[in-house]
Chains A and B, each alone.
Chain A
Amino acid sequence: MRNYFADMISSFLSGGSGGISTGLFDLSFLLLIIAAAAYMIHLLRRSKPAWIVGFSALCAVIPIMTAALVLRWIAAGWEHPPWSNLYESLVFFSWGLIVSYAVVEVKYKVRAAGAFVVPLVMIAMGMASLSGNKEIGGLMPALQSIWLHLHVFSAAIGYAMFIVAFGFAVLYLFRDEVPLPSFLAASAAVNMLSILALTRGQVFLMRCPLIKSIFTNGKIEKVMSFETAKPSFIRIELPGLGQFLFITLILFAISLFMSWRAAKKGDEQSRRRSILFFIFPMILYFLVLAHMIYKSGRFPGFHLQTNIYSVALLGFTWIIGLLNLMLAVGGETMRETLPPAKILDGLTYKTIMVGFPILFFVILSGAIWANQAWGRYWGWDPKETASLVTWIVYLIYLHTRITKGWMGRRSAFIAIIGFVGVLFTYLGVNLLAMGLHSYATG
């Protein structure tokens, strides 16, 4: 941790490319940690001071990040907005999410969703902080298009609306008296899936191969002179990680079973037990996360790069687990403090109504751009395909709601699946496959 801060300060002071803006982003990250904690306390305790702290921190982050983004834009000689690599993409999407959330909160005066949205932004900014390449790079020629601006900007806002909708959907389910241990069961299942994805199914062999690209600077480049300019990948294993994840997976499986039974039984004792059984793997999972963060960037001349996605995946699922744990612990008293279920359901619908046309525009602008750059408007690139899946999920949400009159729980479930789709489109695709979206490589 000490080193991290030292790095932060030195990056803040060094006048190198993006030095100050990087420092400002790190500052926003710290503020976001405060905001996330405050919003979570606000959800748990309904404490107004906590909300004031959280909202002020959030409001402070907006000008800081805006300034930092503009600084980066200036540093790039006004040639392109700061959207050229993974780091800048994460920062910009975080910015979009914060701004969108702040607008929704001010407009609808429902503060509880902040407990879901702000921690997710915090994770995204944390990922950005860990990202290996923070340089302001030039845009490769294919990205030099007016469509880049429209495409990326609308994507940031569209994704943000869906993430906010997800927050409302989970709160709706909570308000709608879904048995508390079900939240733990769902979260345990999601965490198990993320372990499977992280290890590419090799967790059963107690292995966790992390693929990382070689950062072409320093000594390594000279040792390995590659014929092509393409990034090369090697697999590494952090010792003990596979075994650790295997145990975590087993514990999550036990937790899943316990909470599923508790949800069925519905008595207080089994609820307590399910919470206890959920806490163990959560602690283990946090240690895995901490270990990976600690290890990243600690190989001389290398930076863990693709690994950022693994860290993000762990971070997102863990923080969602933590929130679900809060809901399960907070229990019935917390339920009553939330806005009525009907309002939460309506807000989910409203935010999706905003996100859906935007996502359509994102896909359309991407198609127009691809047609201009490569001569085909659609190429079933993994990213295109994943965004189409997400769009179809929300299409199902709207069709079931408008024509079949679905509301409430079933709609909320679809909104949550849609959120998984958004995460998959933005990050998951990059874990599984490489596409045309160059920020995939960092």
Chain B
Amino acid sequence: MEPEKKNGASHESWLDFLSGNRLAIYSLIALAVLTLIGAILPQRGPGIDEARYQELLNTRDIWGLAARVGLLDIFRSAWFLGAFTVMCVNMIFCTVVKFRRVYKTRTPDNLVPDETLLQEMDKRATRQAVVLPDDLRRHFTWQKGNATEEATYYWAEQGGLHRYGAIITHAGVLVLAFGAVFGVFTGFNGMMNIGEGEQASEVITRSGDILELSFQVRCDDFTVEFYDDGKTPKTYRSDITFIARDGAESPAQNIEVNKPGRYGGFRFFQSNYGRIQTVGLRVTDTQSGEIAMQGKYRLGHTYRLPNDAGFFGIRSLDPNKFNSGPAADIVEGLRGHDVHDFWIFMDNPAFDKSRNGAFIYELTDVAEESYYTGLSVARNPGLYWVWTGSAFMALGIALAFFVAHKRTLIRLEPDRITVAGRHSRGQNELEQYLEALIDKITDDKGPADA
């Protein structure tokens, strides 16, 4: 025996290390610390926008340093991924090793309870009693063992599945981890804003790139309802039709918060909404006196003036500027001039002439409001793996926590009974369990410890 053990020692210790609990605990501590950093420090993405993050990378202060070593993007940093990989490797080995052990040490079908088995049990107690009470027979499936003149052995096992709990949980974490990583590489998440009655196919991804969908998304209708306070939205939803490249329209889908729609492998989520304000404008060329532009223009957009003369935009609206009725703040940038802004008044169309600019702006119409719907677009092929992994974890945790593995051995002798057992929840629980069992057996005979 001795030399054999020595032979396999180096191999064993290597495997022990990789599957061992020490590695598990160290990697968990590392993950806890790194995740804590991620919870406290603002992170790239939600906490720090991309431009600021790039700026920080080149800053020579403590924040710059934090950004360069990855603390501000911790969940993509080598630190986190390294610790996570170590944990996964540990779990793979641990799961395999543990499964082999559990499978090997499962109770064999042909188990014959006897004195040796009694010695293996964690705790035993003996009381005066001569028969196995009936209700014990009912509650356990007893396996009868050797019956000699001195003693009869009974063996019962409950909750053997408990032993697979940890294995299933760990396997679940691995499946989930695979799904998460797979999803990061193959998945996609972006936003699109579509005005009511308009259609679009461009999606802006989280990183700011624009992705063109192979189909068009049309917002037929957008509705928002408010609570009595008039500010808190109660519900908002969009009627969305998807139009394939060949022009075929899908049946309209009603997309609501918490009720996503699906099309072409993508899921569409009602994410937000906003108002689009348009105003009627007439722009006249001062020199020629001709109308250069006329129509509806959106607030916040910039428009090109004809003949490459420059651009203009509408910055804001005021329903009653200087008590002179509706007015619009126009921003104008003419070629060779500084960008400047000025107000025009609907009730006083001639007012802008006094500015003596190259163009005369007239406000013909205000405040036609419509909504745009903000849809979040996602595709995540890793999702099924993630849910499968989660389901495994839930099952495994349920087995490990809610199923207790109890093994009970009873030795029945002519004048006394010995109860012994093992319990997955440890010595305290085992003692309580055996105590209760013995109470049941010796209910009316009273304890008489041997």
Write the residues of chain A forming the contact surface with B, with a CB cutoff of 8 angstroms.
137-138, 140-142, 144-145, 229, 342, 346, 349, 353, 356-357, 360-361, 364, 367, 369, 371-382, 385-386, 388-389, 392-393, 395-396, 399-400, 403-404, 424, 429, 432-433
Contact = CB atoms under 8 A, between A and B. Distances in A.
Interface stretch (B20-28, B106-114, B131-139, B442-450): B20-28
B258 A142 contact: yes
Contacts of B426: 349
Interface string B386-416: 1000100110011001100000000000000
Contact of A375 (B32, B189, B231): B189
Contact of B32 (A357, A393, A433): A393
Contacts of B436: none
Contact of A433 (B47, B256, B383): B47
Most chain B CB within 10 A, of A141, A342, A382, is at A141
A28 B36 CA distance: 35
Contacts of A356: 397, 401
Contacts of A385: 35, 38-39
A357 B269 contact: no
B32 A396 contact: yes
Contact of A137 (B31, B232, B397): B232
B21 A403 contact: yes
Contacts of B245: none
Given A380-B75, A399-B25, A144 B258 contact: yes
B343 interface: no
A386 B39 contact: yes
Closest 5 CB pairs of A and B: A375-B378, A138-B227, A141-B257, A403-B21, A385-B39
A388 to B, nearest CB: 5
Contacts of B373: none
Contact of A392 (B32, B43, B394): B32
A357 B45 CA distance: 31
A364 B173 CA distance: 12
Nearest to A371: B383
Interface of B: 21, 24-25, 28-29, 31-32, 35-36, 38-40, 42-43, 45-47, 75, 180, 189, 227-229, 231-236, 256-260, 267, 269-271, 376-378, 380, 383, 386, 390, 393-394, 397-398, 401-402, 425-426, 428
Contacts of B425: 353
Interface residues of B: mostly helix, strand, loop or mixed?
mixed
Given A138-B227, A142-B257, A144-B235, 19 more contacts: A142-B258, A357-B397, A364-B390, A364-B394, A367-B390, A375-B271, A375-B376, A376-B378, A376-B380, A380-B38, A386-B39, A388-B35, A392-B28, A399-B21, A400-B21, A433-B39, A433-B40, A433-B42, A433-B47
B393 A382 contact: no
Contacts of B32: 389, 392-393, 396
Contacts of A382: 39
A15 B32 CA distance: 48
A68 B123 CA distance: 50
A389 B36 contact: yes
A104 B189 CA distance: 45
A141 B235 contact: yes
A440 B27 CA distance: 32
Contact of B234 (A138, A367, A380, A433): A138
Given A372-B258, A375-B267, A376-B189, A360 B46 contact: no
A380 B270 CA distance: 20
A388 B231 CA distance: 34
5 contacts: A138-B229, A141-B233, A141-B270, A392-B31, A393-B32
Contacts of B227: 137-138
A356 B425 CA distance: 15
A61 B187 CA distance: 50
Contacts of B46: 379-381
Most chain A CB within 10 A, of B29, B39, B269, is at B39
A373 B28 CA distance: 30
B386 A377 contact: yes
